[in-house]
Amino acid sequence: MPPYPERPQVGIGVILLRGEEVLLIRRGKAPELGAWALPGGSQELGETTEAAARRELLEETGLECGSLLFVGAADSIHHDAEGRILYHYTILDFAARYVGGDAKPGDDATDIAWVRVEQFDDYALWHEARRVILKAFSELPP
């Protein structure tokens, strides 16, 4: 998404759970370059939200998932020094259980980690990511 958009863009987040852990990626590009986050990215024209979630998960981690459950939405709005909007994503978050495979960073991710809830502060995880992860743990059957 280019800086200074005319309207919000749809972003997709994937909360991949493995037991008591969630998969995080280190972002490889702006916005939030270098920050730990959920795998995800932009929905493409003509692509369903679930197809976008599966594609982004595969591109960023090399992993596939089973059934997806929509667990929430959040807005990620970034301003420049003058207060103009640099980026605005409306992020739709889907949760799924890990079914197998070896995670490896790819595409827009520079690193991957399986993280427990009590470790979130170590990864400076965004409060909205924390919220949807906790919701996923409570709503997604084991």
Map out the domains of the chain as residue ranges. 9-139
Helix (H) or strand (E) holding 86: strand 85-97
Contact 95, 11 (CB under 8 A): no
Q: Tell me the C-alpha distance between 101 and 116, whole Å.
A: 19
pTM, 2 dp: 0.91
**1 confidence band (pLDDT: 50, 70, 90):** low
- Give the model confidence (pLDDT) of 81-96 as tens digits: 999 999 899 999 999 9
Residue 10's φ and ψ, nearest 5 degrees, are -80, 125
Structurally, at CATH architecture level, domain 9-139 sits in Alpha-Beta Complex (3.90)
**DSSP designation for 110:** E
